[in-house]
Amino acid sequence: MGSPTTTTLNSLGLMARGGENPDLHHLEVDSRTVKPGTLFAAMPGSEVHGATFVEGALDKGAVAVLTDAMGARIAGDAVSAAGAALIVSEQPREALARTAALWFGQQPKTMVAVTGTNGKTSVSTFVRQIWIEMGFAAVNLGTTGVEGAWAAPLVHTTPEPITLHRTLRDAVTEGGITHAAMEASSHGLDQRRLDGITLTAAGFTNFTQDHLDYHETFEAYFDAKAGLFARVLPEDGTAVINMDDPKGIDMAAIAKARGCTVITVGRDGGDLHLTSQRLDNTGQDLRFEWRGKAYQKRLELIGGFQADNVLLAAGLVIACGGEPADVFDALPHLTTVRGRMQLAATRGNGAAVFVDYAHTPDAVATALKAIRPHVMGRLIAIVGAGGDRDAGKRPLMGAAATAHADVVIVTDDNPRTEDPATIRAAVLEGAPGATEVGDRAEAILRGVDMLEPGDALLIAGKGHESGQTVGTDVLPFDDVEQASVAVAALDGGLA
């Protein structure tokens, strides 16, 4: 990967020790892909410092190394011996992000980012859908990859800066993209991956328990998310804040302190607020007000919480200059986000099967509460928890399912390198009386088999994912596909 033209350290705003200013042809963060003329970014890691790979990068032709003080101590002698330039930064990740932004040079003219524990994918997708309805060439980037008027896969919700800025450049040059909405994960914000992005607006959805395996404390987790408004969103940008969340007032205060314009969204008042909501078996009707003017629109979306996501998305589009009436006219055309409250299959008796990415206690509770008004019979839930992640939320996942579903099945999610039975046991601590079925395909088949007329099944946890990580292997597995297969088998659709 690299820029289309040769550049130098100084033209990227970088100063090397000793004043060296070599010509650069490539920018890499992976020593395995270094080529002659590369600026190699040796970043601190959670387990291994990237400086340990500097000698290999130099052997392959790296002419400059960007790192921190620790990296300089580890690899400074090797860099000097190779005659390469050494750039030492107190904030090497921020330096990399801003370097990548200059290196690739282009990003969509209008960009927004969304942070929060739940709802990031839905909000960013709805923003993209609204923009497209309004005639703009738009994409959203995040958990589901790059989707919209131009498409590309992504490995991480918020990619590392080189991948992110290469993708944004390609979206502009190859896809003609002018508008982009991206998810801002707490990991990405903490590691300053977004620091080179030029945002017009930023949104906050909610704040609940997740990722404490990485952040360790709620305070650190919140501070990471708050970085979007305290650091990344420019002073002339607009923050769109869900004020129904207890942390909304804190996020709004942080944005105001920076000098940003704030648009408030909620059910209990705000610039854009929901005044009435009527649910039925295919969607919902909303009545809402924008700064005192009332509107009523239809959403073909299941789940009361979708109204919150849609209104936050509408607020972000308005923050980017969208005429409110035009924005609201687009709402009836919104479609379900893949793997988010997605109707996966319907049994012959009318019972529905939904797939949702809910993988936190709050998300499970929200999803089940959202489905309940659409269901006349029993609500059945299939839940699990991922391995090598926040273990504290596992019994809370089980408790959330038990509190809001009539029947609960505990199964495997992505066990990764942990013992699946140990993970299930932790979930079952919060779900006394739940049925344990380790094999996820069998759990889905049994859940579908339980469905009677008027019932509904929610398969929670993996959403859009097309694989299940067991050990270090990713095995093909798609909840939507498995639900369809189960319904076909039980209703006589398979030979």
Three-state SS across 204-248? ECCCCCCCHHHHCCHHHHHHHHHHHHHHHCCCCCEEEEECCCCCH
Q: Where are the alpha helices (DSSP H) in 83-200?
A: 92-104, 120-133, 161-175, 186-190
Q: Which amino acid is at 375?
A: V
Is 387 part of any known ligand binding site? no
| Three-class SS of 113-143 | EEECCCCHHHHHHHHHHHHHHCCCCEEEEEC
User: Is 335 marked as a binding-site residue?
Assistant: no
118 is in an annotated binding site: yes
pTM: 0.84
Q: Is 120 annotated as a binding residue?
A: yes
The Cα–Cα gap between 229 and 248 comes to 12
Beta-strand ranges (E) seen in 282-348 are 284-290, 293-299, 342-346
Largest CA distance in the chain: 76
- Which tokens go with 438? 């380790």
**Annotated binding residue 258:** no
Instruction: Specify whether the CB–CB gap between 146 and 186 falls below 8 A.
Output: no
- Binning the chain into helix, strand and coil, the percentages to the nearest 5 are 40, 25, 40
**Whether 23 contacts 37, CB under 8 Å:** yes
Specify the 3-state DSSP secondary structure of 486. helix
The answer to whether 340 is a known ligand-binding residue is: no
219 annotated among ligand-binding-site residues: no
The letter for the amino acid at 379 is L
Q: Per-residue pLDDT tens for 324-352?
A: 999 999 999 999 888 888 999 999 999 99
The CATH classification number of 106-333 equals 3.40.1190.10
- Identify the segments of the chain with pLDDT beneath 70: 1-5, 209-216, 493-495
Residue 265: per-residue pLDDT: 98
Distance CA 125, CA 148 (A): 9
247 marked among binding-site residues: no
Quick: pLDDT tens for 139-165. 999 988 999 999 998 888 778 999 999
- 309 marked as part of a ligand binding site: no
The predicted pLDDT at position 208 comes to 74
116 is in an annotated binding site: yes
Long-range (24+ apart) CB contacts under 8 A made by 266-275 are 266/242, 267/308, 268/243, 268/244, 269/243, 270/243, 271/315, 272/311, 272/314, 272/315, 272/318, 273/311, 274/307, 274/308, 274/311
CA distances from 228 to 183, 196, 231, 252 (A): 11, 12, 6, 12
Phi, psi for 92 (deg, rounded to 5): -65, -30
The response to whether 186 counts as a known ligand-binding position is no
What is the assigned CATH class of domain 7-93? alpha beta
Using alpha carbons only, what angle is made at residue 91 by residues 89 and 93, rounded to the nearest 5 degrees? 105
Ligand-binding site membership of 166 (annotated): no
Has 121 been labeled as part of a binding site? yes
413 annotated ligand-binding residue: yes
pLDDT at 217 (0 to 100):
80
Is 198 a known ligand-binding residue?
no
Sign of CA dihedral 340, 341, 343, 347: positive
Rg (Cα) of the chain, in Å, rounded?
A: 24
Q: Measure the CA–CA gap between 438 and 212, rounded to whole angstroms.
A: 25
Spatial distance between the Cα atoms of 107 and 196, rounded to a whole number of angstroms: 10
Q: Is 242 annotated as a binding residue?
A: no
| 342-490: CATH, from 3.30.200.20, 3.40.50.2000, 3.90.190.20, 3.90.1150.10 | 3.90.190.20
pLDDT score at 216: 59
Q: Give the pLDDT score at 351.
A: 95
CB 120 within 8 A of CB 114: yes
DSSP string, 351-381: -EEEEE---SHHHHHHHHHHHGGG-SS-EEE
What is the three-class DSSP state of 442?
A: helix
- What is the structure's pLDDT at 156? 81
61-94 burial by CB neighbour count: b if 16+ within 10 A, else e?
bbbbbbbbeebbebbbebbeebebbbbbbeebbb
Q: What's the rounded Cα separation, in Å, for the pair 50 and 368?
A: 43
Give DSSP secondary structure letters for 263-274: EEEESSSSSEEE
Residue 461 is labelled as binding a ligand: yes
Q: Which residues contact 81 (CB under 8 A, 6 or more apart)?
A: none
What are the domain boundaries of the chain? 7-93, 106-333, 342-490
440 known ligand binder? no
